[in-house]
Structure 1
Amino acid sequence: MKHLQAPAKTILISRIDAIGDVVLTLPMAGWIKQHVPGARVLFLGRTYTAPVVACCRHIDEFLNWDDVKNLSVAEQVAFFKKQQISSIIHVFPNKQIAQLARKAGIKQRIGTRNRWFHWFTVNVLVNLSRRHSPYHESQLNFTLLRPLGLKEIPSLDEVTGYLDFSRINPLPEKWQKFLKWDKPRIILHPKSKGSAREWGLPHFASLAQQLHGLGWQVFISGSAAEGELLQDWLRENQNYITDVTGKFSLSEFISFMKACTGLVGASTGPLHLAASVGIHALGLYPPIKPMHPGRWAPLGPRAQYLVVPKDCSDCRKSPGSCVCIQQINVAQVVATLEQWPR
């Protein structure tokens, strides 16, 4: 693709939702930098995703929606005007942000046609239907760049190349004491906060025991709330694991991931983070569309996934787990992990 002969622009990517979604949006910034010479790329997100965005070298500045949303309307408009934004891309549609972008006079306001409020707030509407698309989530985001003259949707390999997490902080010394550098180190992330189908605690317990027996150092990660929920299970498996649930800030967890060999989990933020920092990341998926890896596979140089090779929607309305993801057996996972270089 030829470089666009356009003046320098300030482009704001707006995505105020979850960690995994933000990770799969960040390659847009690298693509913009590559093809819009001199572009300044801003990212509007939430406090809890700020450490994720901070890792990406293609983002020039992070704008915190949590700091802006409670200001008066006049102050909000003034804030957006101050950024001198030439284009805003509403990757995650939000009515309040769309209205503010219009009031702030941002010249090019890009959003999808399938949000009714965009018809009154956005001046460049894009046809984008995520639910039935054959594209990966990260590729779908690139559709919103067409009004910038970027018509091409890159391949997944190309997208991965633009997910540049090269600004990771060194792991603080106080956390290095957890690591046994003479062993392969793996993080098991068994829970998903309801955002994905789960493999189940019995499977993770068996996996932890087997990996421990094979000489791996096994960490169990999760939020503090998940740690409380898993308290009995963690106690039952304490001889095989090191519990790090609730112990890290997100920035520290990213640094801790970088120091490990890999991570196993469902289609959650930690899985996508592990893939993006360049360690081995094994995702366990159901075959249900659009939850399947065709849409949500982790992206990274060492990312992998396991899914039962069938097209099934029997458990679509069942919360939590499903029959098909349970059919991924522990032996398959161990065999995959044993192929990882140590």
Structure 2
Amino acid sequence: MTHVLVTRLDNDGDVLLAGPAIRAVAAGADRVTLLCGPRGAQAARLLPGVDEVLVWRAPWIDPDGHAVDRADVDALVARIAALGVDRALIFGSFHQSPLPTALILRLAGVPWIGATSVDFPGSLLDLRHLIDDDVHEVERSLDLARAAGFPPPTDDRLNIKRDSPAFELAPGYVVVHPGASVPARAWSPERNRALVAALDRPVVVTGGPGERELTAYVAGDHGHDLGGATTLAELASVIAEADAIVVGNTGPAHLAAAVGTPVVSLFAPTVPAVRWRPWRVPHELLFVDVPCAGCRARVCPVEGHPCLNGVTVDAVVDAVQRLAPKAVLA
């Protein structure tokens, strides 16, 4: 019996993008355990092929930062050792070193570890995979799985399990998701509010529990506010029934790709679109090309946030209409 541990330690969106590679691993393994961070735990539980989810906050990944606690690390090592895994694959982005994770896995006695790494791994990796940085995150993970002996699935689109929400929405609606896990990737609340008023069709405004004030403001008198009202699985169903979604480069854009809903992506060019654009779903990227593109800033240091706030409400309305033409009544 082959038990494989896979890891993706960052956000829900990142975990979703590892989904096709995890399905590839699951097709060739008897059991798959996913080690993820608390910001990715909801998405981890939606992925087909995952038998068990372990949640741990990695100090080298979590953006809030916290002190390294030896007892906490020892407890994780003991939990992984008790699993008796045969192999491990570390999935991550180009700017994340897999080596701290590999060290944890070695301490837990994992006998074989593979990862993509530009850094010399010493004895930490059995498979040191290399790939060009400018590929999509999905392709990056699939290529590592392939190198480890797990061929890509025939259908490499994103795929999730989802729950139906306990409420009904008017048909023909568009989702507007104004928040983002990184502030520099969010269109201004004022632009989002103006968009909701300008769309001339039903609009559902979504957001997490900590974004209720934002979603209430954006919804105003024209939108249906669902801020904090759904789990991630329920949000997936809300997006699945929408004609389109307007969203930044953040988790719900990848939820939309997983359920096949067209995406109007307000894509801040802080990171390259080739790596993070919506995967295998109709979409349009809207942004202003600026000299500071590729800055990887979490908070925009330029007054007015020109790469996103230079996108007009009319441009977004037009993109929604192109991707999801409004039905014309006879």
Cα deviation digits, residues 35-78 of structure 1 (max 9, x gap): x3x54332111344333222222223322336xx9866665444
Say if 1:89 and 1:110, in contact at 8 Å, map to a contact too.
yes
Q: Residue 182 of structure 2 aligns with which residue? A: 194
CA 238–113 in structure 1, closer or farther in 2 if over 3 Å, else same = closer
Q: Residue 121 of structure 1 aligns with which residue? A: 124
CA 195–13 in structure 1, closer or farther in 2 if over 3 Å, else same = farther
> How far does residue 297 in structure 1 lie from its aligned partner after superposition?
0.7
Say if 2:5 and 2:88, in contact at 8 Å, map to a contact too.
yes
Say if 1:222 and 1:245, in contact at 8 Å, map to a contact too.
yes
Q: Residue 3 of structure 1 aligns with which residue? A: none
Say if 1:217 and 1:241, in contact at 8 Å, map to a contact too.
yes
Distance 1:14 1:83 in 2: 14
Distance 1:127 1:272 in 2: 25
CA 210–26 in structure 1, closer or farther in 2 if over 3 Å, else same = same
Cα deviation digits, residues 241-280 of structure 1 (max 9, x gap): 1222223333332333334333211101121112212223
Say if 1:220 and 1:243, in contact at 8 Å, map to a contact too.
yes
Structure 1: runs of 5 or more not aligned = 1-7
CA 108–230 in structure 1, closer or farther in 2 if over 3 Å, else same = same
> How far does residue 25 in structure 1 lie from its aligned partner after superposition?
0.9
Q: 2:251 aligns with which of 269, 272, 288?
A: 269
Q: 2:227 aligns with which of 234, 245, 270?
A: 245
> How far does residue 88 in structure 1 lie from its aligned partner after superposition?
0.8
> How far does residue 308 in structure 1 lie from its aligned partner after superposition?
5.0
Q: 2:271 aligns with which of 279, 291, 312?
A: 291
Report how many residues are paired.
306
Q: Residue 87 of structure 2 aligns with which residue? A: 87
Q: 2:286 aligns with which of 291, 295, 307?
A: 307
Q: Residue 61 of structure 2 aligns with which residue? A: none
> How far does residue 145 in structure 1 lie from its aligned partner after superposition?
2.4
Distance 1:134 1:271 in 2: 20
Structure 2: runs of 5 or more not aligned = 58-68
Q: Residue 332 of structure 1 aligns with which residue? A: 315
Q: 2:163 aligns with which of 161, 164, 169?
A: 169
Distance 1:18 1:253 in 2: 16
Q: 1:222 aligns with which of 171, 182, 207?
A: 207
Q: Give me the TM-score of the superposition, normalised by structure 2.
A: 0.78
Letter matched to residue 311 of structure 2: I
Q: Residue 45 of structure 2 aligns with which residue? A: 54
Cα deviation digits, residues 207-243 of structure 1 (max 9, x gap): 21122xx2x2212222333333566x44xx6211122
Cα deviation digits, residues 163-214 of structure 1 (max 9, x gap): 222x21222x2x33xx12xx31222112224254333233322221122xx2
